[in-house]
Amino acid sequence: MSAAQVWSVDPRTGKQREQVASEATAQDVDRAVRAAHDARAALADRAVRSAFLRTAADRLEAARSRLVEAADAETALGVPRLTGELARSCYQLRAFADIVDEGAFLDVIINHPDDSATPPIPDLRRYKVPLGVVAVYSASNFPFAFSVAGGDTASALAAGCPVVVKAHPDHPATSELAAAALREAAAEHGVPETVVGLVHGFDAGVELVRHPLVTAAGFTGSVRGGRALFDAAAARPVPIPFHGELGSLNPVVVTADAAAERAEEIGTGLAGSMTLGTGQFCVKPGLVLTPAGAAGDRLVGSLADAVAKVPGGVLLDGRMRDNFVAGVTERAGLPDVEAPVAPGEAGEREVAAGFLTVPAARLTEEGPHDLLLEECFGPVTVVARYETDDEVTRVLSRLPGNLTATLHVSSEEAAGEGPGAALLAEVTPLAGRVVVNGWPTGVAVAYAQQHGGPYPATTSMSTSVGGTAVERWLRPVAYQSTPHSLLPPELRDDNPLGLPRRVDGRLEP
Q: How far is CA 411 from CA 44, 212, 258, 261, in A?
A: 52, 55, 8, 8
Taken as a whole, the chain contains a residue count of 509
* Dist CA 184 CA 41 (whole Å): 18
Which helix (H) or strand (E) segment is 57 a member of? helix 46-62
Please choose, from the candidates 429, 402, 440, 143, the residue with its C-alpha nearest in 3D space to the C-alpha of residue 247: 402
3-class secondary-structure state, position 443:
coil
SS3 287: strand
Could you give phi then psi for residue 339, rounded to 5 degrees?
-130, 85
HEC states along 326-342?
HHHHHHHCCCCCEEEEC
Within 13 Å, how many C-alpha atoms sit on residue 24's CB side?
27
| Exposed/middle/buried for residue 454 (C-beta within 10 Å: 0-12, 13-18, 19+) | middle
Answer yes or no: are the C-beta atoms of 261 and 298 closer than 8 Å. no
249 half-sphere exposure, CB direction, 13 A CA radius: 25
Contacts of 191 (CB under 8 A, 6+ apart): 39, 42, 43, 48, 52
Across the beta sheet with 380-386, the strand order is: 338-341, 354-359, 380-386, 287-291, 251-254, 402-408, 431-436
3-class SS string, 120-166: CECCEEEEEEECCEEEEECCCCCCCCCCCCCHHHHHHHHHCCCEEEE
Which helix or strand (DSSP H or E) is residue 48 part of?
helix 46-62
Our measurement of the distance from residue 276's CA atom to the centroid of its chain's CA atoms, rounded to an integer in Å, reads: 16
Which residues are known to be catalytic?
245, 282
Cα separation of 207 and 299, whole Å? 49
Q: Is the dihedral of CA 259, 376, 221, 239 positive or negative?
A: positive
Residues whose CB is less than 8 angstroms from the CB of residue 279 and which lie 6 or more positions away in sequence, other chains included? 353, 377, 378, 379, 380
Beta-bridged to residue 252, according to DSSP, are 288, 406
Distances (CA, A) of 373 to 22, 131, 344, 352, 383: 39, 37, 19, 21, 11
